[in-house]
Amino acid sequence: MWIADKPEGPRSSRRRRNWKIVAAFVALHDFVAICFAYLFSLLIRFDGMIDQIPARYLNPYLRVIFPVALGSVILFGLLRMYRSMWKYTSVADVVRVIAGCVISSAAHTALISVLFPRRMPLSYHIVGAGLQLALLLGNRFLLRVIFSLKRHDASGTESKRVMMIGAGNAGQMIFRDMNRASEVHDRVVCFIDDDKNKWGRYLDGVPVVGGRDDILSAVDRYHVDKIYLAIPSATVQQKRDILNICAETGCELLQLPGMFQFVLGQVSVSAMKKVSVEDLLGREPIKADMEEVFAFINGKTVMVTGGGGSIGSELCRQIAAHNPKQLIIFDIYENNAYAIQLELRDKYPELNLVTLIGSVRDSRRMFGVFEKYRPQIVYHAAAHKHVPLMEDSPCEAIKNNAIGTYKTAYAAMVHGCERFVLISTDKAVNPTNIMGASKRLCEMIIQSFDKRIKEDRAGEIPQIFTHEGAENADRDGTGEIFRNIRTEFVAVRFGNVLGSNGSVIPIFKRQIERGGPVTVTHPDIIRYFMTIPEAVSLVMLAGTYAKGGEIFVLDMGSPVRIDTLARNLIRLSGFRPDEDIKIEYTGLRPGEKLYEEKLMAEEGLQKTENDLIFIGNPIPFDEQLFLDKLEKLTDAAYANKETDIRRLVVDMVSTYHPDNGGPEGAGKENGTQEAAKQQATVSAE
């Protein structure tokens, strides 16, 4: 459908008139320049005395020059020389000017030779053509200089002094783009490059002052306000080392995203992005071979519970890109579900997309969805995740996380689902809060399901629901529905996800925007971090590696001290910690641990095909006793008996040690936690 252009305003019309006026003056200049060039060539031939020029030379000049000059201007117009943007004069513009001058000079020589058999001096043609070219090119470059000076004058106090790290192709391209762009008022004052061969040399008048060890001194010497990192080929470790130095300067940091933009030629000032805390975490991103994953998804019906959340929505994006037969987004929060629905419909108009609103706590709703759509793969991301909120509402944590997972897993099992992938958390390891304990219950639920299915005892898994009726799996009482169940249940356990809803970085950013203070619960608190795409790739890999009952764990590198994270974010925002932006320590919240652990000591580790992904061996427990206790826990949760919930969970999860957030709780770190603390201290230093 054709859409009319937006009507021009007075400013747009004025700009169009302005460039046409400038074009008319340039054309007039060219006319005069051609006339002057050939007259000057005659003057040179006769010692600069116009009265000494013989009539046999002056008359042919006067009779030919005006038609030639006018014809040349018309030719230049046909060559689009008057439609160029002179402040961006380029090689292509120069080529057009040279071509126009060559044709114009050749036509001039031919015309004067035909009309006047007496030969003109050779210097008339050579000097005239050369001077014509010099005047036309000089005029255009003079316009570029004028526009450049005008841009710098207009910038006034807004102009920032920039250090460019990287004097290679990318750095030079960004530098020249800055010089061309009228909307960019910043000015590069020095280059940094680790190539010693470039030190002491100049790029368009700007010095290459040294390598990364000279960054701090160069910032002071050249009064740098901004730092641009333009090394797209650098590894994550190399970038981290350089950015950590830059973070000490207090300058605003921007960087070119990577080689992808460089290969595509998308190297410009507009392509630069702010340096994020993720860039300082210091490990290579997970580069999983996803071909097997996408082959597994291709042509299948996939369901994502909690599909509107940060992890769930990224799952939906990656699944939608690889040809599922049908994608089902299931979420209780309609705004998030609607947002990802619109995004996917816009990007993948051919996708068979179903968006459903409902709660995983509603067994009748879950049975209805599974019976109608028969998803073959389920990624279960629906959960309450905020630790302090769940401490105040423990019954809701159990209802939504544990019982919701049970109901969803049961519905998946009896409706032919092939894989059920539970998204868990490192807070399930030795939990001190009800949220972590509820996620550990989720892991135990899927392990119980998997074991019963492998033992061909799926029919003995109780239907733990708060109501009975339409969702009853064995309606005819024959047990036939349980005889060919092949669902494989796995869990994926990872740490904090950068940029997810409720993560610390968005909170810190909002606090910095308000001018502080930035609140950190404890100076020694540490966490493992990963990005949303990494988390999602791990979740999807679990679906293909699964043999049933596993808990997949990502090696997330060294833990990060949250205090260091906050300070780096303040520096990246151009402020100084404790001076411009204060940091306040508020104390550990109820149920919060100083140190997260990735795996319980008794679980052990097995390698997978990916060196950064491991499998924790299931911890043995009496699943029958567990399932019996789960029924009592369900009754207590739905009766909202908060006083009974923690006691029942302690009885079911042997590693759960409730913590009131006081000094006693903060001092319960075991050997694993203490090791993590030492590792974080080394990383922070």
Instruction: State pLDDT tens for residues 552-577.
Output: 776 665 677 788 778 877 877 777 78
Report yes or no: 270 and 186 within 8 Å, Cβ to Cβ: no
Q: Specify the CATH number for 159-275; select among 3.10.20.30, 3.40.50.720, 3.30.390.10, 1.10.8.60.
A: 3.40.50.720
Q: Which two tokens stand for residue 70?
A: 């006018």
Q: 562-572 and 504-513 helices cross at what angle (nearest 10)?
A: 40
- Residue 89: its pLDDT value, please? 58
pLDDT classification of 446: cutoffs 50, 70, 90: very high
Note the helical H segments in 393-464: 394-397, 404-414, 434-454
Higher pLDDT, 325 or 154: 325
Per-residue pLDDT, averaged over 641-667, amounts to: 74
**pLDDT band, residue 268 (cuts 50/70/90):** very low
Q: What is the pLDDT of residue 672?
A: 40
**Which of 635, 669, 632 minimizes the C-alpha distance to 652?**
632
β pairing state of 326-331 and 353-357: parallel
For 153, counting Cβ atoms within 10 Å of its Cβ (0-12 exposed, 13-18 middle, 19+ buried), the class is exposed
Does residue 7 surpass a pLDDT of 50?
A: no
Range with lowest mean pLDDT among 51-60, 98-107, 122-131, 155-164: 155-164
Q: State the pLDDT confidence band at 33, using cuts at 50, 70 and 90.
A: confident
Lowest mean pLDDT among 177-181, 204-208, 550-554: 177-181
DSSP 137-186: HHHHHHHHHHHHHHHHHHHGGG--EEEEE--SHHHHHHHHHHHH-TT---
CB 209 within 8 A of CB 192: yes
Question: Worst-scoring range by mean pLDDT, 229-243, 393-407, 463-477?
Answer: 463-477
What tokens appear for 184 in the block? 């960019």
Q: Average pLDDT for residues 227-239, to the nearest whole number? A: 77
What pLDDT score was predicted for residue 317?
A: 92
Q: Out of 209-223, 474-488, 497-511, give the one with best mean pLDDT.
A: 209-223
Q: How far apart are CA 470 and CA 477, in angstroms?
A: 14
Whole-number pLDDT of residue 471: 65
CA separation for the pair 52, 656 (Å, rounded)? 109
Q: Which of 182-186, 251-255, 303-307, 582-586 has the lowest mean pLDDT?
A: 182-186
pLDDT digit string, tens, across residues 630-642: 999 999 999 998 8
H or E segment at 207? strand 206-210
Indicate yes or no: pTM above 0.75.
no
Question: With contact defined as beta carbons under 8 Å apart, do 443 and 600 qualify?
Answer: no
Quote the CA–CA distance of 579 and 369 in Å, as a whole number: 56
CATH number given to 291-464+483-501+528-554+600-662: 3.40.50.720
Q: What angle do CA 350, 353, 359 make, to 5 degrees?
A: 170
**Torsion of Cα atoms, 517 then 522 then 525 then 529, to 10°:** -20
Considering the chain, what percentage of its residues have pLDDT values greater than 90?
Answer: 23
Q: Assess whether pLDDT exceeds 50 at residue 10.
A: no
d(CA 556, CA 379): 21
Q: Are 550 and 542 in contact (CB under 8 A)?
A: yes
Q: Give the span between the Cα atoms of 242 and 227, in whole angstroms.
A: 11
Q: Can you give the pLDDT at residue 259?
A: 37
| C-alpha to C-alpha distance for 617 and 624, rounded to whole angstroms | 19
pLDDT at 451 exceeding the cut of 70: yes
Estimate the share of the chain in helix, then strand, then coil, as percent rounded to the nearest 5.
50, 15, 35
Strands 518-520 and 560-561: unpaired
Average confidence (pLDDT) over 496-525: 78
Is it true that the peptide bond before 533 is cis, omega within 30 degrees of 0? no
423 vs 274, higher pLDDT: 423
Q: Is the pLDDT confidence value at 183 over 80? A: no
Residue 393 confidence (pLDDT) above 70: yes
Return the number of other C-beta atoms located less than 10 Å from residue 578's C-beta.
13
Q: What is the pLDDT of residue 503?
A: 66
- In this predicted structure, the answer to whether residue 260 has a pLDDT above a threshold of 60 is no
pLDDT value for 492: 86
Biggest alpha carbon–alpha carbon distance for the chain = 123
CA nearest to 163, candidates 230, 116, 104: 230
Running DSSP on this structure, what letter comes out for residue 474? Answer: -
Least confident of 148-157, 588-597, 649-658: 148-157
Q: Measured between alpha carbons, how far is 573 from 505 in angstroms, rounded to an integer? A: 12
Where does the pLDDT of residue 549 fall: very low under 50, low under 70, confident under 90, or very high at 90 and above? Answer: confident
Q: What's the pLDDT score for residue 435?
A: 93
Residue 67 has pLDDT above 50, yes or no: yes
Q: Is 77 exposed, middle or buried (0-12, 13-18, 19+ CB in 10 A)?
A: middle
DSSP result, 20-53:
HHHHHHHHHHHHHHHHHHHHHHHHHHTTT-GGGS
pLDDT at 126: 87
In contact, 415 and 473? CB cutoff 8 Å: no
Using CA atoms, how far apart are residues 429 and 673, in angstroms rounded to an integer? 11
Q: Which residue has the higher pLDDT, 261 or 292?
A: 292
Residue 365's pLDDT is what?
93
Q: What are the DSSP calls for 488-519, one per residue? A: EEEEEEE-EEETSTT-HHHHHHHHHHTT-PEE
Check whether 142 has a pLDDT greater than 60. Answer: yes
Domain coordinates of the chain in residue numbers? 16-153, 159-275, 291-464+483-501+528-554+600-662
Residue 261 has what pLDDT?
38
Torsion angle in degrees (nearest 10) through CA of 171, 173, 176, 177? -110
pLDDT for position 88: 54
587: left (phi over 0), alpha (psi -120 to 50) or beta: left
pLDDT attached to residue 668: 41
pLDDT of residue 685: 30
Q: Locate tokens 């974010």: which residue?
A: 569
Intrachain domains 159-275 and 291-464+483-501+528-554+600-662 with the same fold: yes
| Least confident stretch, 66-75, 497-506, 571-580, 625-634 | 497-506
> 69-73, 219-223, 283-287, 459-463: which range is least confident on average?
283-287
Which whole number is the average pLDDT over 475-489? 82
What integer is the mean pLDDT of 358-374? 93
Q: Using the 8-state DSSP alphabet, how is residue 577 labeled?
A: B
Q: Which residues contact 97 (CB under 8 A, 6 or more apart)?
A: 81, 133, 136, 137, 140
Average pLDDT, the chain: 78
Burial of 138 (0-12, 13-18, 19+ CB in 10 A): exposed
Q: How confident is the model at residue 412 (pLDDT cuts 50, 70, 90)?
A: very high
pLDDT at 212 > cutoff 60 = yes
